[in-house]
Structure 1
Amino acid sequence: MSGTQRADARRNYARVLAVAADEVAAHGAGASLEQIARTAGVGSATVRRHFPTRRALLEAVSRQRIEALCVRALDLINNRDSRGALVDWLSEVVAYCVTARGLAEALAYDGDVHKNSCSAALEDAAAPLLQRAAQDGMVSKDLTVEDLITFAVGIALATAHYPDPAAQADRLFRLAVAGLSPAMTR
């Protein structure tokens, strides 16, 4: 492949990704691959060559947000309140899932977690937060990062069709974290 063709392929990839981000923001995970191709000015085969599955497209669109969440986990690791740090981070994951249409679907486990780069990156980032909170006795020792991601995705998917999904997701998240007892907090 010549340098020009590689440059064209890189430009096509960038153009398709930018259009896909707009389409996913507007239409969610079900954004039309054909519409993405038309808007990007490429053939549908080009879209499929760069993104062989819908999940691959959603993961690519979500990558920047995922990276920000990973950085945030690093920022919180030295927080004196290990449970609070974990809850704050997880709250941000829920908020991202709700506001970034398609992100919850990109994070959802489909039986092969290792092929889901978004979930894998978040698992790696959150593991130290969870481990520290468990060591401090602030969360159950049998809790896994996969449990936390599934929890966040579940809330985002369950509230997606509410008039104010972000407010409802935050309410449900706070209820779940606090537990059903009125005496428990955060």
Structure 2
Amino acid sequence: MIVYEYQNYFENIARNYRKILHNPEEDRKRFTTGNIEELLGGLKAELDLSEPCLILYNFEGRFLEDDAEAKRLLMQSAFAIVQDVEETDFEDMDKKSDELFQIGSAIIGKMLHDRELHAEGKKCPSFISTFSLDSVKQTYVGRIGDSSYGWLFEFDIQNSANELLTYREEEWNE
């Protein structure tokens, strides 16, 4: 899997999911890549946090080897669903927390649906075939900046690393 495929998949989710509707051309920037710490460093000003936003974390990976023939790339991935809330209105905070959790869960549901489509031979990113619900972990996050809260969804995906790790003599000056 390449980074573009990973980022494009989630940006399309943000564009097409009706509760996010990312559209930067119309000043509805509700998707970005990075992490919560970058929000604190100024990224927040770019997002329309009056509505739910999807922040796709850059994945961390490690190579695994089952045997000499099977090499894999395990990628630990995450996204956050965040929104500004009125901190003095605890009922509103609870309501938005539930809504943001439901949005994140719906995205996980979309990933499961796409995994089924991939199994049927339909066009989906290859990494989605290894997505497992058992790897999903949710964590409440907040206070981000002045008044944003949300949920972080962490998950693992895997890809074959055989091609990536193939030694090609013609690529070396030895």
TM-score, length basis structure 1: 0.25
TM-score, length basis structure 2: 0.26
More strand per residue: 1 or 2? 2
More helix per residue: 1 or 2? 1
